[in-house]
Structure 1
């Protein structure tokens, strides 16, 4: 069996590693000739840590990032209110939550790809897909061609693969929220994630290493774009009135601070997530907002399950049907729960109501894949 994975981000690299572990011949391509990664840090839920453990990278992630337990909910003034548990079954052998710098996670996964000798071609994309009886002929942007048993689109929320096989599929829609992120120093006493609820925006931070954490602000706004020159003033204004550690961080923000601003988009792609022998995983199939910190996790789970089903069935159509049966409900739950939390945040719902959805969803995700 020969598989092409389009997109070498978290989901695509995870698919490459998982397929290779099952003895399946796999090749990755990515449109970026430099194979870059964007963003500050990434929060990792317990179920995602379990998926990374099954992929074989948990120990390196634990060493180079952060793992811990629980989410501390605080008032706008910075006073602790209560802790939300992040339980995982003991047999999973992982912590309840974590965080890591995106470039570090990219280094871990890409290192495994290269160490395994998995082929990666950069700076190219798929121009054409032609399906025949038991194969897919692929035409690449560099003029080359290839024949594969399966093509996997792991090319993100704006997936070109999705448009190629489902030209009438929904487009990403702005949810009404945008997220701001900065990287900052991690005080010694910060040993878990924090939420600051009850104010005009949701503020929080996640440790990503022994010395760093990232702070985020989820803002309700009709504005989907910000000029780079206005980021600093708007960001410090959003943090005005918050106390505790947030006030300390705000005081250290300068016009030179790197601020990442991103509008949140999502949509529901109706099943199936494949057409013939071309399948979608991760954000290409079920893009979600970050409220549950599980978008990357369900992409890694997709990779693991797809590899398992291909190895088990040895027949691509049967494997894709089995994959969808195992994945659709769980991924839909993550998307729906994340969007629900975002809606409650925008409405200014009581903190207890917001965190109840988080706690219920994390417990659900702790169940077996």
Structure 2
């Protein structure tokens, strides 16, 4: 018998929806509370490596993802003028029968996971969040923003890097800026874009792009974090356009698209790592609520998906959601998440410090080797 009969998952992002699928299809009554008013996901593109695809296959959605994504098996390194310097094979971390990496539209991934969660029987409730949590030992009493209250065997905070659940259970870890900021645009894909290509140099720390579908891609420029972030839509487009003038090749093809866009996005790189344990009583954190990293390794969503897979496996195999269960969950996840967070931050810091002899390929290879192993 599973350790829980009902569960509340706070947050309908990648981690929360994945966990909802895994628990609900095994008969757990799952409710998902999402503060956003509907299922429409924000964001542009997302990069998913093999270890993320491995979890998506376990969720039963890989075939649908495969039809929507753009797969590739190598990483290109280019000079600011667009010349190719190196083509590095990507490790197939999910196994030989899955691509090394895919890019896809983030809202499409969200839509696929939303449909899967509903099909599994999860109750997705939008425009709703948690106001108070009261752990009673045998259950958690949850007071919700619509004025209702209910008891749950398990509460999961999957509500992101600024998790309100994390604060409610007394964990005061906060995200820390890494000193970098990223400009992103989702735009048309030139035919020459067949994978992620990166430029280290020019006016930015990193200039890159990733195909997300037959006709789409996202492009990004990473510079030192700005404190004057109150940009208008026009100012965002103008600034990204000016930064892009330091790059040739594909950037020459998309520059006009950047200038005409009203959807240029700017955010800081941040990191977060909650030390053990990731729970207080029967409330536990997963995904960005427990660990978050700058996208230098493209592992944020993948690590959240792994959290969901491991937690579901352990909860479904246990008799009681007690502290030994949560300790064992943290044991399986913390060291792996720590390596990803610290390595992602290290890659960013090397850029900030201008370290010229940094072994970037070596660090990426070391992390890839670890992530090829099952979580």
Instruction: Report the TM-score, using the length of structure 2 for normalisation.
Output: 0.93
In structure 2, the CA distance between the partners of 1:141 and 1:90, relative to structure 1 (3 Å rule), is: closer
1:51 CA displacement: 1.7
Does 2:16 match 1:2? no
1:352 CA displacement: 6.6
Alpha-carbon separation, structure 1, partners of 2:293 and 2:228: 17
Name whichever of 153-162 and 114-123 sits farther off. 114-123
Contact 2:61 2:112 in 1 (8 A): yes
Q: Which of 333, 356, 360 is the aligned partner of 2:362?
A: 356
Gap regions ≥5 residues in structure 2: none
Where in structure 2 are the equivalents of 1:117-136 lying within 5 Å?
117-136=121-140
Q: Which of 318, 323, 342 is the aligned partner of 1:313?
A: 318
For residue 147 of structure 2, what is the aligned residue in structure 1? Answer: 143
Q: Which of 230, 235, 241 is the aligned partner of 2:240?
A: 235
For residue 165 of structure 1, what is the aligned residue in structure 2? Answer: 169
In structure 2, the CA distance between the partners of 1:239 and 1:219, relative to structure 1 (3 Å rule), is: same
Contact 1:84 1:355 in 2 (8 A): no
1:264 CA displacement: 1.6
1:64 CA displacement: 0.7
Alpha-carbon separation, structure 1, partners of 2:364 and 2:237: 30
1:92 CA displacement: 5.6
Where in structure 2 are the equivalents of 1:1-369 lying within 5 Å?
1-88=5-92, 91=95, 93-167=97-171, 169-201=172-204, 202-223=206-227, 225-228=229-232, 229-317=234-322, 318-350=324-356, 353-369=359-375
1:75 CA displacement: 1.0
Alpha-carbon separation, structure 2, partners of 1:307 and 1:78: 45
1:184 CA displacement: 2.0
Instruction: Report the TM-score, using the length of structure 1 for normalisation.
Output: 0.95
Alpha-carbon separation, structure 2, partners of 1:90 and 1:272: 28
Contact 2:30 2:121 in 1 (8 A): no
SS in 2 for 1:114: helix
In structure 2, the CA distance between the partners of 1:7 and 1:92, relative to structure 1 (3 Å rule), is: farther
Alpha-carbon separation, structure 2, partners of 1:86 and 1:109: 26
Alpha-carbon separation, structure 2, partners of 1:247 and 1:355: 28
Contact 1:153 1:284 in 2 (8 A): yes
Name whichever of 51-60 and 141-150 sits farther off. 51-60
Alpha-carbon separation, structure 2, partners of 1:238 and 1:55: 40
Gap regions ≥5 residues in structure 1: none
1:224 CA displacement: 6.0
In structure 2, the CA distance between the partners of 1:357 and 1:246, relative to structure 1 (3 Å rule), is: farther
Contact 2:53 2:94 in 1 (8 A): no
SS in 2 for 1:128: strand
